Amino acid sequence: MKIYTVKLDMTTALGQLKRFRLREFNCQYPIIFIEADNPDDACYFMFCKFSEMLLRQEESLETAQLLKRVQHDIKITKVFCKGEKEL
């Protein structure tokens, strides 16, 4: 497994997430480090990490529906692994 860097644009989503402690996702353009086998897995695992963080804070149907809406507002701008070509 490799460590991938996932750069995000959370500008649109942040307004809907004010009641949560977002930790490393708490800025407009966070950079998240994810261990994965390939870039697609890195993107998937990043969103799983984000979802789990919110659901641990407030496990409810409302939070699940919020996650479904917000996933389209979070944009992945760049995924790369050191030593590999940037995507």
Structural domain includes residue 87: no
Nearest alpha-carbon partner for 54 in 11, 26, 17, 14: 17
Structural domain includes residue 59: yes
Band of pLDDT at residue 86, cut at 50, 70 and 90: low
Burial of 28 (0-12, 13-18, 19+ CB in 10 A): exposed
- The two tokens of residue 60 are 């409810």
Structural domain includes residue 42: yes
In tens, the pLDDT along 2-41 reads 999 999 999 999 999 999 999 999 999 999 999 999 999 9
Structural domain includes residue 16: yes
Query: What's the whole-number mean pLDDT along residues 58-72?
Result: 96
Structural domain includes residue 86: no
Q: Give how many domains the chain has, as a whole number.
A: 1
pTM: 0.88
Range of the domain at 57: 2-81
Structural domain includes residue 55: yes
Give φ, ψ of 16 to 5 degrees. -85, -10
Structural domain includes residue 8: yes
The answer to whether residues 77 and 43 touch, using CB atoms and an 8 Å cutoff, is: no
